[in-house]
Chains A and B, each alone.
Chain A
């Protein structure tokens, strides 16, 4: 038995020690080899009231290690796909160019860089190449001028073609898509671009999207990122672009695990109910999820709702085992980390109350909020702004109640922000900016994208 749990739990540790039977198996290996991913399963609480079957939430956390300092990082294969439609004219394009040049300077000699611009058509301005003559490439970037409309599909396709030139090699493949407008040439349905994203992911190409200003299609951009396991950003002003580029490149240059597959096996009579916020398969008692890649020192998690069987007081049981398979990009070996979760059952209500795992409860609630945000968007799209506001309001109330109960500042802050969003929406309806903020926040929450 060990006390190595999340920090939130240290306070209550001694009380629940008797019931605490969770052994994070991954943690043991992690101590031996700090460069490995740690896999932990935590349940909503350690102790449950015995009796009838009940639902609970499991949080399977993957703690990515920091990138080792002495090993050279895996090279990256980046294709920047830049919108140069007429609306990009001015600060947006200038900042995008500056950010691209800045990003370029951070790449190493082994990395590969390519640049595609699109307006009515897409053109490969810089074919895939090692950034050896940075000044020459920067010169080409500076010459980019604005053009006509927005052939986004074509742009991404050309970017992918550039990436594919080095697809066989051991790169971290990434397309950075920047757009400020609605795709008006080629496929423009979020669904279609999502399919493209999913297909690209099969080739291990991720697309990170940056929507600039108020006119881009956030549904399309988030869908493309989500399906290809990239990041998504809402860039309100062109001036934020360099910061966002730096953040995104930070992620790309910091991949510590690839092709991450998470298998959760429920034990005994525990039954799966649903996966929250992520795509996955539930096959009998087996739950399968994939996450593609983890960035250095990043924490990603999956939330799964399960149904615990009938129980007797004083009994305890193994709820689930998790196994994460991934590729270590530094030594190119496939590695495995494991985690196990236990639950005990008691008739002591106070104990049950006290054994709650705030880390799980909070993330669960925040994910529910993300889902509520999506529902609010849907409602607002259907012309029901009041219902949309109501949805957010309810979410805020829940967050606040939970925040008060556990005296958690983060939750209270979220509650306050959500309440404010709801209030504004009630007054003015959902503005384009609101919609973009909600869509992006919800995506970033569900995907645990590191904040910008």
Chain B
């Protein structure tokens, strides 16, 4: 059918671009999301780098300051200054003086538990198994740089770091105000002071030893840095991070989390998206960047939101298309039905008119002399004009009903009387079709009802017409009148004709609907009768519905409401 084909074409034209568009949009969105994720990771990594750099700068400056402070101690006096320093400077965990053997601290009760552990920790160094190795290139370049630019942006912002640097810088001068610098820098000319930063791993933990050898013959002395102080000060000065789908973690050498930036919940097995070494001065320490793999944060929110929008868009297009198709189909059907209606009505009108005209012409020509014949012709004219009237009434009623202009006049009457009158009036037609009339359930005098008599007559007539039209091959037409406890009357007209297929059960009540809609249908009809009957019944607060008979045949039931019952 052309209709179907055009609809398929319409859908094809409509669906294919929509799907292509949706697919393209989704792909673009995923791509965009990936880009956002990538740039978020880059930003995060840069942040990690800048934090790592600031840690490195701080540690380096601390290192340089401490080494310089150590070098500032008069070579012959470290034993007087260093213990005092250890006791008062939080950055100093332990101090030592080493000349062939460990001079200070002394093994035994004169040292504290901490000092005894310190000696054990650096046993390899103090027993001479590991030499004090100067890291020469660290001097010169790194040494001055950090201090030359003390007012970097980060430092001015960060009080904690400033305090830390003060701590590393000022200590020995404060403790030993008598020391004069010129004296301190006097060590022998050939020997440039050696110094070193010694990262030391003991029991899987990093310890830092800073040492100085001021003269070739002098002792090696120095301190163990208190990393806890260093980190505690750094941690207090770290910028806050509020992201909850990304996190930066400062990890020590054994991958223990030292500090966490951001509030993202990190499960134990979370894998970092990027890792950056913090500083060569703190070997194996890393800044790790974590990103939420599930991506429920604002970053991926973009994708979700966009996908929802695209989804809504596509659903809207589809609904629109569906609605259009539905309306089109409905219009096509309505148009078909109207055409068929006009044809059938014209046909219906023409049939009785032809008969009337033919018999009227015969009578007019004066050739018919036989009185009985004349009478027959006249009665045919009467019957046909009645049929014509009914048809026209239906068409007119249909118009009124459709526009809601039909008015009802409620009067009291006996339903059974009306029924008998109708049956009497149409007895001949029924007999002509060869049907037996069966009437049941009617009680004398118990059928008083208030309703619109004319409208009810029309309903009964339409139902009866229907039976005569479609069930004329049957054996009977049955009228059943009953009454429900609430005073509603049930009126049924049943036959044993072919009945109505199950699939058409409800559609027969639609206007213009005919089971066989072709012009050449065997039965003439407008497709209006049942539609009008149901409309009237419903207008009168009752109903009309169809039930199949047990074996074959149809049964229409009208519920008729008594308008005086209340």
A186 and B236 within 8 A (CB) = no
B257 and A185 within 8 A (CB) = yes
Instruction: Beyond A187-B256, A196-B228, list 8 extra A-B contacts (CB 8 Å).
Output: A121-B261, A147-B263, A151-B260, A153-B258, A154-B235, A157-B231, A186-B257, A282-B110
CA distance A161 to B93 in the complex (A): 20
CA distance A187 to B110 in the complex (A): 30
**Binary interface profile of B, 76-103, with partner A (CB < 8 Å = 1, else 0)?**
0000000000011111010000000000
Instruction: Report if A281-B228 is in contact (Cβ < 8 Å); known contacts: A154-B259, A186-B257, A186-B258.
Output: no
Cβ–Cβ < 8 Å partners of B256 in chain A: 187
Partner of A279, one of B93, B112, B237: B112
| Chain A: CB-nearest residue to B167 | A203
- Name the distance in Å between B171's Cβ and chain A's nearest Cβ: 11
A362 close to chain B: CB less than 8 A: no
Interface residues of B in 211-268 (CB under 8 A from A): 226, 228-229, 231-233, 235-237, 240-241, 256-263, 265
Cβ–Cβ < 8 Å partners of A202 in chain B: 87-90
CA distance A208 to B258 in the complex (A): 23
B109 and A272 within 8 A (CB) = yes
Instruction: Report if A156-B232 is in contact (Cβ < 8 Å); known contacts: A198-B114, A281-B109.
Output: yes
A120 and B263 within 8 A (CB) = yes
- Name the distance in Å between B284's Cβ and chain A's nearest Cβ: 16
B236 and A161 within 8 A (CB) = yes
B411 close to chain A: CB less than 8 A: no
B552 close to chain A: CB less than 8 A: no
B232 and A196 within 8 A (CB) = yes
**Binary interface profile of A, 115-135, with partner B (CB < 8 Å = 1, else 0)?**
000001101000000000000
Partner of A203, one of B90, B109, B231, B257: B90
Chain A binding surface, main DSSP class: mixed
A73 close to chain B: CB less than 8 A: no
A185 and B260 within 8 A (CB) = yes
Cβ–Cβ < 8 Å partners of A185 in chain B: 257, 259-260
B90 and A153 within 8 A (CB) = no
CA distance A121 to B247 in the complex (A): 11
| Chain A: CB-nearest residue to B258 | A186
A199 close to chain B: CB less than 8 A: yes
A120 and B229 within 8 A (CB) = no
Partner of A120, one of B112, B114, B159, B260: B260
Most chain B beta carbons < 10 A, residue from A156, A157, A160: A157
- Name the distance in Å between A212's Cβ and chain B's nearest Cβ: 23
A186 and B259 within 8 A (CB) = yes
A284 close to chain B: CB less than 8 A: yes
A158 close to chain B: CB less than 8 A: yes
CA distance A281 to B258 in the complex (A): 33
B163 close to chain A: CB less than 8 A: yes
Q: Can you identify 19 A-B contacts, CB atoms within 8 angstroms? A: A120-B265, A123-B240, A153-B259, A154-B236, A157-B233, A160-B236, A161-B160, A164-B163, A185-B257, A185-B259, A186-B260, A195-B228, A196-B228, A199-B226, A202-B87, A202-B90, A281-B110, A281-B111, A283-B110
- Name the distance in Å between B109's Cβ and chain A's nearest Cβ: 4
- Count how many chain A residues have C-beta atoms less than 8 Å from C-beta atoms of the other chain: 33
A160 and B110 within 8 A (CB) = no
B113 close to chain A: CB less than 8 A: yes
- Count how many chain B residues have C-beta atoms less than 8 Å from C-beta atoms of the other chain: 36
**Binary interface profile of A, 266-292, with partner B (CB < 8 Å = 1, else 0)?**
000000101000011111100000000
A148 close to chain B: CB less than 8 A: yes
- Name the distance in Å between B26's Cβ and chain A's nearest Cβ: 35
**Binary interface profile of A, 166-210, with partner B (CB < 8 Å = 1, else 0)?**
000000000000000000011100001001101110110000000
Interface residues of A in 133-164 (CB under 8 A from B): 147-148, 151, 153-154, 156-158, 160-161, 164
A187 and B228 within 8 A (CB) = yes
Chain A residues proximal to chain B, CB less than 8 Å: 120-121, 123, 147-148, 151, 153-154, 156-158, 160-161, 164, 185-187, 192, 195-196, 198-200, 202-203, 272, 274, 279-284
B112 and A196 within 8 A (CB) = no
- Name the distance in Å between A218's Cβ and chain B's nearest Cβ: 20
B232 and A121 within 8 A (CB) = no
Cβ–Cβ < 8 Å partners of A187 in chain B: 228, 231, 256, 258
| Chain A: CB-nearest residue to B263 | A120
B260 and A195 within 8 A (CB) = no
A196 and B260 within 8 A (CB) = no
Cβ–Cβ < 8 Å partners of A157 in chain B: 231-233, 235-236
Cβ–Cβ < 8 Å partners of A151 in chain B: 259-260
- Name the distance in Å between A249's Cβ and chain B's nearest Cβ: 24
B263 and A121 within 8 A (CB) = yes
- Name the distance in Å between B270's Cβ and chain A's nearest Cβ: 13
Most chain B beta carbons < 10 A, residue from A148, A186, A280: A186
A280 and B112 within 8 A (CB) = yes
CA distance A272 to B256 in the complex (A): 42
B259 and A148 within 8 A (CB) = no
Cβ–Cβ < 8 Å partners of B228 in chain A: 187, 192, 195-196, 199
Nearest 9 A-B pairs (CB), nearest first? A282-B109, A161-B236, A199-B90, A157-B232, A199-B229, A195-B228, A202-B90, A157-B236, A283-B110
Cβ–Cβ < 8 Å partners of A272 in chain B: 109
B110 and A284 within 8 A (CB) = yes
- Name the distance in Å between B299's Cβ and chain A's nearest Cβ: 19
B90 and A200 within 8 A (CB) = yes
- Name the distance in Å between A351's Cβ and chain B's nearest Cβ: 33
Instruction: Report if A160-B232 is in contact (Cβ < 8 Å); known contacts: A186-B260, A202-B89.
Output: yes
